[in-house]
Every structure is written in C-alpha cells, then in structure tokens.
Structure 1
Amino acid sequence: MPILQIDTNLSMNSVPSEFSVQTCELMAHIFKSPLNFCVVHINTDQELYWYGLDGPCVLGTLKIVSGSGTISPEQNIEHAEKLVKHISDNLKLTNKNISISFVEQDAANVTIFNTTVSNFLQNKK
C-alpha cells in the first residue's frame, strides 16, 4: 500500500489533472500493489524554500505499508529514479528540486476498510 504525499510550492493549476492517476499507476507497477491501495496526496501552494535553489520544489514522503511493497537501501535508488523522473517530467521541475523520503510503516499501524491493514490481510486469506 504505497501512500505518496507531495508538498510543493507549485500552484494547483500547475499540476496536470491526470497526475494523481498516473502517479498511482506508476506506484502500483513499482510496488506490485493493487491500484485501489495506492494513494497520492498533493499539497500545493505550500510555503517551501529550499536554501540555495531557485524556483519550485517538491518534498515528498512515500509511506509503504509492510508487506505491500518493498523498500530497501538498494531498491530505493531505483524507486527514486522512477518517481523523481515522473514528478520532474509532469510538474516541469528540475530533478535537483525534488526530495522523497521513504518510510516503512507497520501494517498494524495503518487502517483500511474500517480495520488495520494487517487484520484486513489476515482475514482476506
């Protein structure tokens, strides 16, 4: 269950209307997750300043629920390349103005369908 939160100082009208759908599709492919478990949350018009850089920037947080995708130091390099390229290409940003933090969350600490992800997955079997 990949959940990507994007904070940016771009305005909402700078984000293509299909960006969220395309980002979910990319994450589903990268993390081998069902599309209905992929979430994109975009916070535009944020007061962000990245010292020494000019123009718009993105700070992203990618939360991965344990068991629904794999993150590791080695895999994060490939994940970062794909996600940063996608964000850069679609939001018209230089890749040096994009940072993404990868965070793994325990399935017992995330809810979906009125229960925890771990409980949902156990009862699904």
Structure 2
Amino acid sequence: MPHLKIDTNVPRGKIPAGIEKELCKVIADTLGKPLNYCCVTINPDQVMSFGGDDGPCGQAILMSIGQLGVAENKKHSKAIFEKVQAALGIPKTKMYIHFIDAKSADVGYDGTTFHDILG
C-alpha cells in the first residue's frame, strides 16, 4: 500500500536503471511494510524550479496506511533523501516530501480495500 511518487526535473536519461526497485526496498524497510505492497513512481523531465534555480530538484509524496507520524517521518525522510541524493543527484535542500497517512478504507487493492484486507 505504500506509494512513493517523485516528480523531478532530472532527465530520464540520468535516472539510474532499477532505482525504483531500490526505493521500493527503502520504503518497505523504513515503514515495516511488505515489499510486495510497495510502489514507487518517478516522473522525470518535469519543468521545475526550486528556489528560483533550475538545478536538480523534486517533489515527493509518500502515502502509507499507518507508520507515519512526527518521529516516524524523520526516519522515512532520512532514508529517502539519502537514496534520492545519491542516485538522482537531488540535494536534500532541493526536494520536499509530503507524508499522507491514508485510511485503510481509502486505498483499493485486489478488487477491495485494505479495510477488508487488514480487517
């Protein structure tokens, strides 16, 4: 159920092959969720500016059912920023992560919702 979406101005050609799989592992580990439920989307080539500059930057959204909060988000932020900076060259000061704690009834999967799946 976790989904990490990153919009970035980094060109598609500079997105390392397999980074989406590596980021799936990062969010599975940091959230304590099964890897088979994790999804990562990277949207390269976006027309973006952060702070009035056109260097590498991004906007991210991490949606999860639970495991988000004041202390938890610091851990998630650290793990995601480290991987994104190393792989995509986006400085930690040139991206925001928005955390969305979704209700289980608001996330559909396998023809139902996680409200039914998780009980």
Task: Normalising by structure 1, report the TM-score.
Answer: 0.89
Aligned to 2:64: 64
Over aligned residues, Cα RMSD in angstroms?
Answer: 1.2
How many Å apart are 1:93 and its aligned residue?
2.1
After TM superposition, the structure 1 = structure 2 runs for residues 23-102 of structure 1, keeping only pairs within 5 Å, are 23-66=23-66, 70-102=67-99
1:107 to 91, 96, 104: 104
Residue ranges of structure 2 left out of the alignment (5+ in a row): none
For 2:29, give the aligned amino acid: H
How many Å apart are 1:54 and its aligned residue?
4.2
After TM superposition, the structure 1 = structure 2 runs for residues 5-24 of structure 1, keeping only pairs within 5 Å, are 5-24=5-24
Residue ranges of structure 1 left out of the alignment (5+ in a row): none
Task: Normalising by structure 2, report the TM-score.
Answer: 0.93
CA displacement 1:69-104 (0-9 Å, x = unmatched): x11112211211111011001112221112111111
Return structure 1 stretches of 4+ with deviation > 3 angstroms: none
Aligned length: 119
Maintained 8 Å contact 1:65/1:104:
yes
Distance in 1 (CA, whole Å) between partners of 2:90 and 2:47 is 17
